[in-house]
Amino acid sequence: MTKQIPDIVVGRLPRYLQALEHMQKDGFMTTSSKELGANLGISAAQIRKDLSQFGGFGKQGMGYSIQSLINQLRSILHVNQSWKLALVGIGDLGNALARYQGFTSRGFHIVLAFDIDPEKIGGKIGNIEIMDAAKIAEEVRKNDVKIAMLTVPSTAAQNIAVELVKGGVLAILNYAPISLSLPDHVHVEYVDPIVKLQHMTFYL
Amino acid sequence: MTKQIPDIVVGRLPRYLQALEHMQKDGFMTTSSKELGANLGISAAQIRKDLSQFGGFGKQGMGYSIQSLINQLRSILHVNQSWKLALVGIGDLGNALARYQGFTSRGFHIVLAFDIDPEKIGGKIGNIEIMDAAKIAEEVRKNDVKIAMLTVPSTAAQNIAVELVKGGVLAILNYAPISLSLPDHVHVEYVDPIVKLQHMTFYL
DNA sequence: TAGATTGTTAATCGATTAACAATC
DNA sequence: TAGATTGTTAATCGATTAACAATC
């Protein structure tokens, strides 16, 4: 049986990767757990512990090769490949996400877009056609899309999510401010600025 | 000395509030830790423990008054008042955030907008003027703004954040994919879809 | 070699869960 | 009253940190 990796550790790996990619862009070749930790506001011990869950990637006395650690993390996170995304809800936020260059450059390609507004259906966003949300399950399955981003009103989110799952979607990035009830095998991450703002106002 | 509340508990309170507001909208008057937990995918025991940090808000055998718990949580989170926000970076995402109705309805009002693009400076977004980012510290202080949202390229984020802090900003919602180095008294929350997507692809 | 930094173990710290008396 | 559910304590579980031998 595969060793169980704590989800909280998995959640830190993308931030390690992000920081390493910045360091590489800035021309650095190697780093240490101490330096990476200082960059991210995380203890050096925690970084070493997290990484050691997957193997020994560093050298005593020398630290880590940035390129090599980037490659390892990409492989661990399964982002050393490209992923197809579906985008549901082509309002202001959906439009902003569709235009964001960061997805493509990281291997996430929006290949399907859906809305329920007849005015929008048939139109284009970038070079893909906006389709009727009624076709979600069918199209998602046909295109073998496993990841979706949901930017619809919260009243619609649960039903749309169910359709996505019917089509075979396994991971949903949910921008709607509501908790989704889905089968356990589906991974959901929430992005809600209000939740984050209210977290901070506690301290003000 | 005030009892110390774990940050992880504080982070869950906005989600409790969100769920309670939905329940209220759906016409419910009372709920229980069991029901709220089922809604959020959190154990009933954890919800009771979290709430009990702040006082006894429920009645044995009866559960919680939704209205009363909403009021309590709003008070605890300091969102029973309105907050002024500064928005820095008026690209696609900045525009989408400026148009989002959810901020205003939750008491978060964008009162300042900044960019560095001369084409944008002097223009309007909604009914506020886009100002030169060079004036951030000055304007933020003059308007007594304590919270900012940062939607600038990651190369600019650190410098802009420093200007915001100079102006007296205490909380930053950072959409730029980079870790900010700021004094300890400044609260920073990160919103990066790539980080969330990469978290999920680990499991795919 | 001497210095630096890893990988790992053990100790500490903190968070979650289980259980139940209190009580509405 | 009988049933339900809270608030809280103690037990369990998990995560972080400190420390250091190994070694580049």
Q: What is the pLDDT of residues B56-65, one digit of tens each?
A: 999 999 999 9
Q: How far is CA B88 from the centre of its chain?
A: 15
Is the pLDDT at B23 greater than 70? The verdict is yes
**Do the Cβ atoms of A189 and B198 come within 8 Å?**
no
Is the pLDDT at B2 greater than 60? The verdict is no
CA dist B11 → A6, B17, B197 (Å)? 20, 11, 21
In this prediction, residue A3 carries a pLDDT of 63
**Do the Cβ atoms of A201 and B77 come within 8 Å?**
yes
Q: Collapse the DSSP code of B188 into the 3-class scheme (helix H, G, I; strand E, B; otherwise coil) and give the result.
A: strand
Distance in angstroms (rounded) separating the CA atoms of residues B62 and B2: 30
Distance in angstroms (rounded) separating the CA atoms of residues A89 and B106: 22
**Nearest CA distance, B122 vs chain A (angstrom):** 22
What is the CA angle A177-A183-A188, rounded to 5? Answer: 40
Neighbours of B204 (CB within 10 A): 13
Low-confidence spans in chain A with pLDDT less than 50: 1
In this prediction, residue B160 has a pLDDT band, given cuts at 50, 70 and 90, of very high
CB B94 within 8 A of CB A95: no
Token readout for A24 is 């590489």
* Rg, C-alpha atoms of chain A: 19
In this prediction, residue A2 carries a pLDDT of 52
Neighbours of A116 (CB within 10 A): 16
| B40, B154, B196, best to mutate vs chain A, most A CBs in 10 Å | B196
Please report the number of interchain residue pairs, chain A to chain B, with beta-carbon separation below 8 angstroms. Answer: 172
Quote the mean pLDDT of chain B. 96
**Nearest CA distance, A86 vs chain B (angstrom):** 13
Contacts of A99 (CB under 8 A, 6+ apart): A126, B92
